[in-house]
Structure 1
């Protein structure tokens, strides 16, 4: 008997020489047990209460915790918790209803769409439009993880063969449920093919609205702040910045002065604002400049002066020459969008 016991001890020592420092503990002495490795590459076999490391699975295979054999990665029997399972419609011969009857709390990934899953505990009295019984959708832009069986941040989920939807309008819950609904592409514009960061709203260009994108996903819609005078600013697709109306052309809803045919330097504001003037160069608008407080722009002197020293309509100066009055008339008529011949 002693000799047999000695042989067993020698066998355990020989087999146990391949144990790693993180080898698991066997539950009971003399009980056969298989313990899968944490990294799913193989398993330990308990021999006389001692874990013995067995040969690893072949490349492309993992050890199944339920079947206790090596199986192909992403196969139906691949239950490694480190892997996202590739879901296909042929994995289970049972329908969703049949699976839910077997387990009323089951969570089942949707076979083809990565943001969808079935929750057997969800029972709709009235099934929402675009949905079916037990079907649940992650909040955009989250995706459903087959590892945690929960909705997770999209950049942490591997969808496998399931379709990964980047556009919010690919999510069923964001579709219009009825008439008189703001279209999805307005509420949740697409960021596909757009860089990370701020971008023009694709459906509201040259408006106060712009969007924030991350990895081609719409994150939020933002609105430009007002300028220092409390006026609305528009988001320019040309500069990708919130821009004052004075620097946006009229065709895009701005108040940019037209410098065509004007002299270089200071010129009267096209919109009759006396407290500022437009700077032009080579027929192009350069800047809009506000006069110091208490001063107005005089079209004759082409500079900011006290109101009493400026010609009408911005000032009360008497005895303005005909050329001065013609310049003033031209500014006033432009306010009414009436084109006059060039007096100069």
Structure 2
């Protein structure tokens, strides 16, 4: 028995020397596993000493228990160890976030654990010094695996795909904020390859825009290069100076539906090939000629109806301070306000002539809208009175000027003829003066093959007639209290009304 005791002390001493000689947080996995097995054998030996000597048993158990709490025992020995030593607390043999508390017995063992096993809350690890969970920065795992990802903790083992979306991995990532999965402004924060927290970057109140994770912190996207997911243009090949932003800054269906960028309230400056974002002071906008921020309204190259207005805030599809004149007005570089389009010289600025192509209408009708069914184009039509290009045939008309719709309306009834009028030959005309060949609305017969003279209308034989002259038909209304005389072929007080004689 004493030879066995001497042998156990030698094994324990060698194990202690091995632990002390190894680097503080590193070691050989194979030698550690052997040491754990040896210590488990020593615990069995301690139990045998109880019947030999209570003193030796106590001393031996204290020494071996100390080794167990530092190194642990093989998983196969855990239940036996806890049965014989019900108050023992010791680390898991392989994973640094796990440990065993022999005094803890589950009635229903959690599916991700074993009997007596406890897992530290993320990102804590089990300390063999304090025998409790500690901040991971304060724990030396030695030869135990140091789990870094939250989803590798056993509590999350049953929902890997969902977990990785909710708790991204920080393995191999630098300290600071990184792009999250819940949106362009979402981040996850890493420290020493551990996930510290997730969140959403706050807005930049000066620029009135969300921030995005960049280089470990939340950053205004106008300060982030375009190739890195921001809106800051490159200065490559550009001379030193100020430039309008070119890149789309549309986000969550607000702010830049047309993908033109923040062209009015900010700009970027190129200096020695380096770009930097500049916000115009309140009450000013970027002016094209001076390439600087100036007070008041100023034109923009995007379109003659568009302009920069320092008092016009962001609206739906429009970037901040970009405004549009009401149709069909255009912005004047002379008066610095919206004017009748006939008084504006657009120069190189594109002109929009259709109501439905003004930007406000394009945005409002972006989801399968049908602007053209209610607002019509004068493209290709002459100036003046025109038949309605869509609501035809019908009594509707539009008035065009320089291919713009300046008015639209409905022809009235002709009170003299008591008939509905329709647009024809540049004016509202009653049906009896419109040829029957015109959309089956006209009632004026064709004079082809007929001799010059006066004829009855087939559908209205009494108080009117039509005159053929040189093959051209003209509608004529009899004077009051007269009818068309088929014998004399003129209107007469004494004429009786009869059906047409053709």
- Give the structure-2-normalised TM-score: 0.41
Are 1:313 and 2:306 counterparts?
yes
Per-residue CA deviation, residues 25-76 of structure 1 (Å, 9 max, x unaligned), is xxxxxxxxxxxxxxxxxxxxxxxxxxxxxxxxxxxxxxx9x97998324363
Q: 5+ residue gaps in structure 1?
A: 1-63, 337-344
1:136 Cα shift? 0.9
- Alignment check: 8 A CA contact 1:246 1:255 kept: yes
Per-residue CA deviation, residues 248-296 of structure 1 (Å, 9 max, x unaligned), is 3556553335778988634444436464242354997823433333233
Hey, what does 1:109 align to over in structure 2? 91
Structure 1 CA distance for aligned equivalents of residues 294 and 12 of structure 2: 90
- Alignment check: 8 A CA contact 1:115 1:138 kept: yes
Q: Report SS of the residue matched to 1:169.
A: helix
- The aligned runs of 1:109-148 (5 Å cut-off) are 109-148=91-130
Hey, what does 2:281 align to over in structure 1? 292
- Alignment check: 8 A CA contact 1:296 1:310 kept: no
Per-residue CA deviation, residues 203-246 of structure 1 (Å, 9 max, x unaligned), is 789644142313x433334543321334211112xx44432121
Structure 2 CA distance for aligned equivalents of residues 83 and 134 of structure 1: 15
Query: 1 or 2, which has the higher helix percentage?
Result: 2
Partner of residue 72 from structure 1, selected from 11, 14, 20: 14
Structure 2 CA distance for aligned equivalents of residues 161 and 117 of structure 1: 14
Hey, what does 1:209 align to over in structure 2? 187
Hey, what does 1:242 align to over in structure 2? 218
- Alignment check: 8 A CA contact 1:145 1:158 kept: yes
Are 1:279 and 2:233 counterparts?
no
Hey, what does 1:48 align to over in structure 2? none
1:151 Cα shift? 1.9
Q: Report SS of the residue matched to 1:325.
A: coil
Are 1:323 and 2:347 counterparts?
yes
- Alignment check: 8 A CA contact 2:88 2:101 kept: yes
Higher relative contact order (CA 8 A, sep 6+): 1
- Give the structure-1-normalised TM-score: 0.56
1:194 Cα shift? 4.0
- The aligned runs of 1:195-274 (5 Å cut-off) are 195=174, 197-201=175-179, 207-214=185-192, 216-221=193-198, 223-229=200-206, 230-236=208-214, 239-249=215-225, 253-257=229-233, 265-270=241-246, 271=260, 273=262
Structure 2 CA distance for aligned equivalents of residues 235 and 141 of structure 1: 23
Structure 1 CA distance for aligned equivalents of residues 270 and 130 of structure 2: 64
The 1:304–1:280 alpha-carbon spacing in structure 2 relative to 1, beyond 3 Å, is closer
1:305 Cα shift? 3.7
Q: Indicate the larger mover: 105-114 or 132-141.
A: 105-114
- Alignment check: 8 A CA contact 2:186 2:200 kept: yes
The 1:275–1:166 alpha-carbon spacing in structure 2 relative to 1, beyond 3 Å, is same
Hey, what does 1:18 align to over in structure 2? none
The 1:326–1:281 alpha-carbon spacing in structure 2 relative to 1, beyond 3 Å, is farther
Hey, what does 1:86 align to over in structure 2? 71
Kindly name which structure, 1 or 2, has the bigger radius of gyration based on alpha carbons: 2
Structure 1 CA distance for aligned equivalents of residues 238 and 187 of structure 2: 34
RMSD over equivalenced CA pairs, Å: 4.5
Per-residue CA deviation, residues 118-167 of structure 1 (Å, 9 max, x unaligned), is 22343334432322222211122222233432223334434344323233
Structure 2 CA distance for aligned equivalents of residues 163 and 207 of structure 1: 34
**Matched residues, number:** 258
